[in-house]
């Protein structure tokens, strides 16, 4: 079976940056499973997996616009220190949950701290990066009606409910 919309795909991967530094891997774990054509993985990788089948292996380069997007400078802002009431020590690299413009919860990372403000970044940590994937396809199958109605994979490597 070849990978097409509404198929369940399970694959092993190693993700590296442009310098070859490993960012993430599925080695030693269950393969990652997703429902093809439903936005469960980044668009650039999903597009490259279309038409492949079990046993195929490939290296895929994904540009920022097809991955986690370009860095958006509007998502980096200085917030008054008072907004962090109850937090005694704020350090670069700390993560906090914040409300986005439409009320959605988003993670922000502290980029700088001074006496007056805390500079936070709400960009995805991989925004602006060229991503290198080394992928091997382990399973391709027809999605169940329940998976299609829920919009995600159930079972190993997928959603457990």
| pLDDT for the residue numbered 98 | 84
Task: Compute the distance between CA of residue 91 and CA of residue 78 in angstroms, rounded to an integer.
Answer: 14
Q: Which residues contact 144 (CB under 8 A, 6 or more apart)?
A: 154
If you average pLDDT over residues 130-145, what whole number do you get?
A: 96
Show the CA angle centred on residue 51, arms to residues 47 and 55, nearest 5°.
110
Q: Predicted confidence band at 156 (pLDDT cuts at 50, 70, 90)?
A: low
Residue 161 has pLDDT above 90, yes or no: no
SS3 158: coil
Model's pTM, two decimal places? 0.82
- SS3 track for 147-160: HHHHCCCECCCCEC
User: pLDDT tens for residues 6-40?
Assistant: 999 999 999 999 999 999 999 999 999 999 999 99
Residue 160 has pLDDT above 80, yes or no: no
User: pLDDT tens for residues 44-57?
Assistant: 999 999 999 999 99
Domains and CATH numbers, the chain: 7-68+127-150 (3.10.50.40), 73-121 (2.40.10.330)
Token readout for 161 is 């409910």
What separation in angstroms does the CA of 107 have from each of 24, 72, 93, 103, 145? Answer: 19, 15, 12, 13, 33
Percent of the chain with pLDDT over 70: 96
User: pLDDT tens for residues 84-122?
Assistant: 888 889 999 999 988 877 888 889 999 999 999 999 999
Q: Which of 138, 136, 161, 140 lies closest to 151 in space, CA to CA?
A: 161
Cα Rg of the chain (Å, integer): 19
């Amino acid at each position: 079976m070849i990978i097409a919309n509404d198929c369940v795909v399970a694959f092993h991967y190693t993700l590296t940056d442009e310098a070859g530094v490993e960012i993430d891997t599925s080695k030693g774990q269950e393969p990652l499973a997703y429902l093809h054509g439903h936005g469960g993985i980044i668009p650039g990788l999903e597009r490259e997996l279309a038409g492949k089948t079990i046993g195929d292996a490939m290296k895929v380069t994904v540009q920022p616009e097809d991955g986690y997007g370009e860095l958006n400078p509007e998502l980096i802002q200085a917030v008054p220190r008072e907004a962090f009431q109850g937090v005694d020590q704020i350090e670069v690299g700390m993560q906090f949950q914040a409300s986005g413009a439409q009320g959605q919860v988003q993670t922000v990372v502290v980029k700088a701290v001074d006496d007056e403000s805390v500079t936070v970044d709400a960009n995805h940590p991989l925004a602006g990066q060229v991503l290198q994937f080394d992928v091997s396809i382990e399973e391709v199958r027809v999605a169940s009606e329940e998976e299609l109605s829920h919009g995600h994979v159930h079972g190993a490597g997928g959603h457990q409910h």
